[in-house]
Chain A
């Protein structure tokens, strides 16, 4: 009733939709870098939206199954193979006991999410199974997966109704330049007009300083009126922090709950799916939208997820 990690890959962690409700106590939210992809992976195998998945970065893991179960892989294309044969992303797959899932190399994007029907048997900590490495909680001993780790299933399913219908087109398309939509604030008034203009018109490049906490970009300096330090306030997922150096850092899943640097804008939720797949060297341009447009986009995305779910698993 479990999987064994034969090779953990570069950075594979257990994540769900995050540890909600404890930010006021200094506990980072953590959670998957792409909530949409993880939710899709779960819907494809009939799980609840917030079931824990494996988040695989760049070089994915090698996993042996000792029980039949259905899985789905979403997000970037890290080249999944089952017993040496390529398998499709965004497709529910019935895996047999003894089979080995491995990932050859990143082809599109850099993060994949693997869901397991019936969920992983991991004790939630503070209401979440997400791995939070800094505090060493959640997931498997609060760390990234290691060779030899065994993770049990809770309720594996050898088969699923409508298995042949449980697929969709992969969502992430590589581009020469990505447009990421933002809403300005909370500290856009700490920047000069030229600073805001640079931010919204120049092309920024993703640097190798990119982990679950944040993604540092290089490019035109975003000038402050009077320095980049503020009295600490809260930080949301996708906040674009600009310290006095003038180069932006996008704050991600394992970000601290509060921070003392100015934040010029926040990536909109509907575009987190782009953020999660960016790699060093990728080019990004930021486009300002209104809060209404941002929320409309998010609600439309969530509606589409609900439609997919009700088509696959109509509520009894």
Chain B
């Protein structure tokens, strides 16, 4: 493993950098370190922010100074191998593919010489790792989409993409959590609210979890949408089985 670096990100935050590339291995280490840090009870930690390659640790210098914190974080790194890290959850996200909800799915199919059904089959066949969240509340940076359905962004971005839209941009896929402008090719929409500020858990996905999409029909979409508008819909989830390597 590349040497872990401690980078100054101001005087109330330190970034623990695990590597300089996008890799599942680095992400797994960040997740493990984040879990270990939460269990460690190091005083003065305010919040942590995992990204592709690092964990930003925000802290209160009135409680712990930089030097003392880095010493503790280094100690924690040394113990990482002995800490039990639970398997990641896989969130099962229902998607109504094509039609009004996924107006670009034919283009994605045509661009890749596939049928629409093949695009759906490929898109729903993978467990996508949530490397990090950012950009807007609940926006997930997912990894692992098949190159077979990779499609360039729209030349002219749309002014308004409804929240819940599922899209493809290059070799990336993801869900727009809130209404926003954007240039992704839209292939479907989920009735699940990835983000609801008034919910006890405002944001559904967490960095380090996986998302698996599955296709639903309009009736199921409407049923889940109605639940989300009322008492809420509970997404199915299961612990991920480690792929045999």
Contact = CB atoms under 8 A, between A and B. Distances in A.
B136 interface: yes
B9 A185 contact: yes
8 contacts: A25-B206, A135-B197, A183-B8, A183-B11, A231-B22, A234-B56, A236-B12, A236-B13
Interface of B: 7-13, 15, 17, 20-22, 46-54, 56, 58, 61-62, 65-67, 132-139, 141, 177-178, 195, 197-198, 202-203, 206-207
Interface string A21-63: 1111111000000000000000000000000000000000000
A23 B7 CA distance: 18
Nearest to B55: A234
Interface string A219-257: 000000000000111111111000000000000000011
Given A23-B47, A135-B178, A237-B10, 16 more contacts: A21-B46, A24-B206, A26-B136, A26-B139, A135-B136, A183-B8, A185-B8, A231-B52, A233-B15, A233-B56, A234-B9, A257-B134, A259-B134, A266-B11, A291-B11, A294-B10
Interface of chain A: mostly helix, strand, loop or mixed: mixed
Interface in A243-286: 256-259, 263, 266-269
Contacts, number: 138
Interface in A285-308: 291-292, 294-295, 298-299, 302
A165 interface: no
Given A125-B198, A135-B178, A26 B138 contact: yes
B interface SS class: loop
Contact of A126 (B9, B13, B202): B202
Given A135-B178, A298-B61, A302-B62, A269 B136 contact: no
B17, B46, B61, B138: residue with the most chain A Cβ atoms closer than 10 Å? B61
A232 B53 CA distance: 8
Contacts of B198: 125
A184 interface: yes
A107 interface: no
Given A125-B198, A135-B197, A236-B56, A24 B133 contact: yes
Contacts of B7: 185-187
B65 to A, nearest CB: 6
Given A231-B52, A258-B51, A25 B11 contact: no
A137 interface: yes
A23 B8 CA distance: 18
B173 to A, nearest CB: 17
A154 interface: no
A134 interface: yes
